[in-house]
A and B are shown apart, each in its own frame.
Chain A
Amino acid sequence: MNVQLLAQFIVIFAAFFLLVNMSAVLVLAERKVMGFMQQRYGPYLVGPHGMLQPFADILKLLMKEELRPKGADKWLFTLAPVLAVTTAFAAFATVPFGGQTTLFGLLDQPLKLGAADVNVGVLVIFAITSMGVYGIVLAGWSSNSKYALFGGLRASAQMISYELSYATALAAIIMLAGSMSVREMVDTQAGYWFGVIPKWYVFIQPVGFIIYFIAGVAETNRAPFDFPEAEQELVAGFNTEYSSVRFALFPQAEYINMVTVAAVATDLFLGGWHGLLPFRTPLDGLIEYWNVGWLVFFAKIGGILFFYIWMRWTVPRYRYDQLMKFGWKWLLPASVLNLLATAAAVLYFNA
């Protein structure tokens, strides 16, 4: 068998394996960080410092009975969680997570770290994440329950509203990079200004980054924008009627989507695998020498995910109408203005 192809398969499998486990790690991280912020230990009993808690949770969920409400739609009720988790995995397909490597000289040609590299990569990510809403909406509708239906309705309205700002923030970056391939967009951020500050797009597009991040939080239905679930008002929102493994797939999809949003933010705004900190350190030379940019990439993802969790446990929730007002009256105009300003600047400096 072709060695190059085999190596590519290994990379794809590694990405998949990483995503599967990422949801377990994030569940634990979320509970530990929450405990830390509320001045308690969090899960502590299963394994050393409660490290094995996610496995206990998964085992518990696997052994539960799978319930389906009598009035639920049989097909769509089964399809919804599958759809949610499939789209979450698929969206990571065109996200590159490292530069080129020959695996310590094992391969003849350098291998690109990332499942696939297509020339409209950003659009692929965007297209697949926009499919993800169907899982939630269908779950809400097919459960035949008022709370679930409200959760599904809110999910669809929220997704439509925030997808626009999300895409417009990305469009500004596409204009700056002059490419839609995520790998090429990352590589335009290599190098330093004045030999100190890395050429990350977050420094050129600070507004775009903030818009992207807010819209990303809303897209993944995380607090303070967790309206499809809304434990305080809707019991558990769209997944009220779900139990056992079918239920487990929804949080898993949510955590994988979080990883994808963080990975895209790292790739497009924070320079991907170029430069660890927002200024040049001796460590950067070492990283380039050893060619371990993917470690830098995952460190940045970790940072963003920590910020995600931090935000959930510190920022109070919005009200639903405030969310809609904020999305349409503030975020969208801001992102359109940002896009226009970027277009004008690109025309002025490049023409």
Chain B
Amino acid sequence: MLESLLFYVMSGLAVGASALVIGQRNPMYSVMLLIVAFAALAGLYIGLDAPFVAMAQMIIYAGAIMVLFLFVVMLLNAAQEDAAEWDRTHPLRRPGFARIGVVLALLFVVELGWALAKVAALASPVAGRADGAVVGSVREMGRVLFSQYSFAFEATSILILVAMVGAVVLARREGDA
């Protein structure tokens, strides 16, 4: 009873906040709502009996990454940027990237439907180990990450490193030493 209540409240909050994120004109509100969505996701993880993942979600996403987002929004001071011009154009006639966004959104919807259909076919939606034990504790998770999933783990970290180097290269202005 309590568990399903937690699920419905948290998932409702997550979906509602995420929908509001893209509906905001002011980027500051978007960032704040995204934090709410992340916190709701952390609540869902607690419901799934994974407190470590929940806290990691809070620390890394809601804490560190969103502070960076906020920092960037404040530095750019991009409140209500070009809102008037944006309003005058019909959504389908907006230039360039906006139209690609529609295609991407469609793609994501199709993917989501496909993934949900797959999950429904599974006996238990919670990913367990081969022997059926659910990985919850920190000790277990560390062991699994560095043995069973070590390749995926290392590949992900290299991917993040590459992205970071790429960002630095792109952000550096021409002529800077």
Report whether chain A binds chain B.
yes
Q: Which residues of A contact B (CB under 8 A)?
A: 73, 75-76, 118-120, 123-124, 126-128, 130-131, 133-134, 137-138, 140-142, 149, 152-153, 156-157, 159-160, 163, 167, 180
- Distance between Cα atoms of A134 and B34 in the complex (Å): 13
Are the CB atoms of B75 and A123 closer together than 8 Å?
no
> Can you pick out 23 interface pairs between chain A and chain B where the beta carbons lie within 8 Å of each other?
A75-B29, A119-B137, A120-B52, A120-B55, A120-B138, A123-B52, A123-B55, A123-B56, A123-B59, A127-B63, A130-B63, A130-B64, A131-B62, A133-B67, A137-B70, A138-B32, A140-B74, A142-B28, A153-B71, A153-B74, A159-B67, A163-B64, A180-B52
Inter-subunit contact A127/B70 (CB<8 Å): no
> A73, B62: Cβ atoms under 8 Å?
no
Q: Which of A124, A133, A140 contacts B55 (CB 8 A)?
A: A124
In the assembled complex, the CB of A39 is this many whole angstroms from the nearest CB of chain B, namely: 42
Q: Could you tell me the distance in whole angstroms from the C-beta of B134 to the nearest C-beta in chain A?
A: 15
In contact, B55 and A160 (Cβ under 8 angstroms): no
Q: Are the C-beta atoms of A149 and B74 separated by less than 8 Å?
A: yes
Distance from A179 Cβ to chain B, minimum over Cβ atoms (Å): 9
For residue B58, CB closer than 8 A to chain A, the reply is: yes
User: In the complex, which range does the number of interface residues on chain B fall in?
Assistant: 20 to 34
Instruction: Knowing that A131-B62, A153-B71, A153-B75 touch, tell me 10 more A-B residue pairs with CB under 8 angstroms.
Output: A76-B28, A118-B51, A120-B51, A126-B55, A127-B55, A127-B62, A130-B62, A130-B64, A156-B68, A157-B71
A159 to B67, CA, bound (A): 9
Choice from A128, A142, A160 contacting B67 with Cβ under 8 Å: A160
B41 located at the interface, meaning its Cβ lies under 8 Å from any Cβ of chain A in the complex: no
Q: Tell me the complex Cα distance, A323–B85, Å.
A: 42
Closest partner residue, chain B, to A144 (CB atom):
B79
Q: Specify which chain B residues have a CB less than 8 angstroms from the CB of A127 in the assembled complex.
A: 55, 58-59, 62-63
Whole-angstrom distance between the alpha carbons of A118 and B46 in the complex?
Answer: 12
Contacting pair B64 A152 (CB below 8 A): no
